[in-house]
Amino acid sequence: MPTPLDVLVVGAGIAGLATATALHREGMSVDVIERSPERRATGAGLFLPGNSVRALTALGLGDHLSGLGALVPGQRMMDHRGRVLADIAMAELWRGTAGCVGITRANLHAALHDIVPVPVRHGVTVVSLKQSDDGVDVECSDGVSGRYDVVVGADGIRSGLRESVDPAAGARYVGQVCWRFLTDAPDIDRWTVWLGPGTTFLAYPVGEGRVCCYADVTVASPEDPTTAVGGLLGLFSGYDQRVRDLLAAPAAHEAYFSPVEEVSGETWAHGRVVLVGDAAHASSPNMAQGVAMAVEDAQVLAEVLATGGDTEHLLQQYVQRRLPRTRWVQRQTHRRDRTRSMVPAVRNIAFRYGAKALFERGYAPLRDLP
Ligand SMILES: Cc1cc2nc3c(=O)[nH]c(=O)nc-3n(C[C@H](O)[C@H](O)[C@H](O)COP(=O)(O)OP(=O)(O)OC[C@H]3O[C@@H](n4cnc5c(N)ncnc54)[C@H](O)[C@@H]3O)c2cc1C
């Protein structure tokens, strides 16, 4: 039985909570710090494909998950006027994994907080971090200092820990800005997307008759004037009436807004500091793989560290196991972005006749265990 490691997890988002849970289960001693002074989950909803639900189930959320959100039986693609291009059955696409779920961020976050077996120290961040051959000395902003075998940077797309691992890697704008909000729409019972010229509108159920709406537009810079307050409604004025109705909801006026960015460095570990989740490999949400990749990182990291041996070597093993899969996801997000720049009439024909094959190819490797 290898000696249990002392681990500090920095960040209590999805990746941090999942990592703390998975490491603790392997017998490790885990401290978790979170910069935000209280539990909060900003943003609207999350679509969780089969591999995501499988990973969360293995972590301990079990059947609980679909009860906290909504099962999503299919994906429907339409043109911006509401003409159906393709219907994809989730049970077939994600065969062998688990049913797909839509959930609010608040519900997923709360469920992860319920299972994390250690207290989270809120309002706390890293003040100093010094690596030596046999440990990492960390001083935290609450005055607590400690020596750890491993420090995990689960601190999101703007990760500060990434500075100690790969200072050259950073978030890169991928060409779209997006808005998202929650509203009532009991009639929308599946992942439903309307594709326009350079714009996309998506709605999926998250439980209790509510949907998460996501809208995006391709613009050269996030500072483009079309993205100014109020831009959202104007961009979709030529869309299907159902989209305009959803945009008439009061919540649309307070939608969360952000540029879509990715992190694509390939160095995720330096010495005994290692990155997980968005800190390592944030991706465009167009594959809805952020949660899956974060929770799979947690599982693989715990599994690898539990084997025992040279810690730095084990961290590199974790990186080598995870890089190909997360790179695959990023390449698929780029491919999807390229289809956005196609002439809409051509793109629509491509989806009408080829969407099933495209989805099958894009997701097939993710049905395998990580
Ligand atoms: C618009 C949009 C839509 C998305 N939709 C989906 C979807 O449908 N399905 C899906 O699977 N994924 C989706 N994603 C991706 C998903 O949200 C992320 O991949 C996931 O939340 C990553 O979690 P994380 O824990 O790595 O990072 P975060 O959620 O950013 O968590 C990082 C945590 O670290 C804390 N922190 C930061 N710095 C410090 C510090 N110095 N000290 C202590 N704590 C710190 C932060 O406060 C935060 O709590 C979407 C992303 C976006 C932008």
pLDDT in tens, 129-163: 999 989 999 999 999 999 999 999 999 999 999 99
Distance 190 CA to ligand 1 centre (A): 24
**Under a CB-based contact definition with an 8 Å cutoff, are residues 10 and 150 in contact?**
no
pLDDT (0 to 100) of residue 330? 98
Q: With a threshold of 0.85, does the pTM exceed it?
A: yes
Taking the CA of residue 256 as reference, the ligand 1 atom at the shortest distance is: 1
Taking the centre of ligand 1 as the mean of its atom positions, its distance from the CA of residue 231, in whole angstroms, is 25
Query: How far is 320 from 326, CA to CA, in rounded Å?
Result: 11
Minimum-distance ligand 1 atom for the alpha carbon of 157: 30
- Burial of residue 92 (CB within 10 Å: 0-12, 13-18, 19+) is exposed
Using the mean position of ligand 1's atoms as its centre, give its distance from the Cα of residue 79 in Å: 30
pLDDT tens digits along 165-206: 999 999 999 999 999 999 999 999 999 999 999 999 999 999
Distance between CA 99 and CA 306 in Å, rounded?
A: 29
pLDDT in the model for residue 266: 95
Taking only the tens place, the pLDDT of each residue in 255-282 is 999 999 999 999 999 999 999 999 999 9
- The torsion angle over the Cα atoms of residues 17, 22, 28 and 32, rounded to 10 degrees, is 0
Residues within 6 Å of ligand 1 by CB? 10-16, 33-36, 46-48, 52, 125-126, 154-156, 160, 178, 180, 258, 277-279, 285, 288-292, 294
Q: What is the dihedral of CA 9, 17, 95, 210, to 10 degrees?
A: -140
- The span from the CA of 304 to the CA of 316, in Å, is 10
How far, in Å, is the centroid of ligand 1 from the Cα of 257? Answer: 14
Closest C-alpha to 293, from 320, 260, 330: 330
Ligand 1 atom 29 nearest Cα: 13
Helix (H, G, I), strand (E, B) or coil at 7: strand
Q: How many angstroms separate the Cα of 287 from the Cα of each of 132, 149, 196, 290? A: 39, 34, 18, 8
Give the strand order in the sheet containing 145-148. Answer: 126-132, 135-140, 145-148
| CA 198 to ligand 1 center in whole angstroms | 26
Ligand 1, atom 41, lies closest to the CA of 125
Phi-psi region of 326 (alpha: psi -120 to 50; beta: other; left: phi over 0): alpha
Question: pLDDT tens digits for the chain (370 residues)?
Answer: 677 899 999 999 999 999 999 999 999 999 999 999 998 877 899 999 999 999 999 999 977 788 899 999 999 999 999 999 999 999 999 999 999 999 999 999 999 999 999 999 999 999 999 999 899 999 999 999 999 999 999 999 999 999 999 999 999 999 999 999 999 999 999 999 999 999 999 999 999 999 999 999 999 998 887 776 567 888 999 999 999 999 999 999 999 999 999 999 999 999 999 999 999 999 999 999 999 999 999 999 999 999 999 999 999 999 999 999 999 999 999 999 998 779 999 999 999 999 999 999 999 999 999 9
Ligand 1 centroid to 157 CA: how many Å? 7
Q: List the chain domain ranges.
A: 6-72+98-171+262-339
Contact 202, 213 (CB under 8 A): yes
- Which CATH number is 6-72+98-171+262-339's, of 2.40.128.130, 3.40.50.980, 3.30.470.10, 3.50.50.60? 3.50.50.60
Tell the residue nearest (CA) to atom 48 of ligand 1.
13
Cα–Cα distance between 22 and 30 in angstroms, integer? Answer: 10
State the distance from the centre of ligand 1 to the C-alpha of 13, rounded, in angstroms: 6
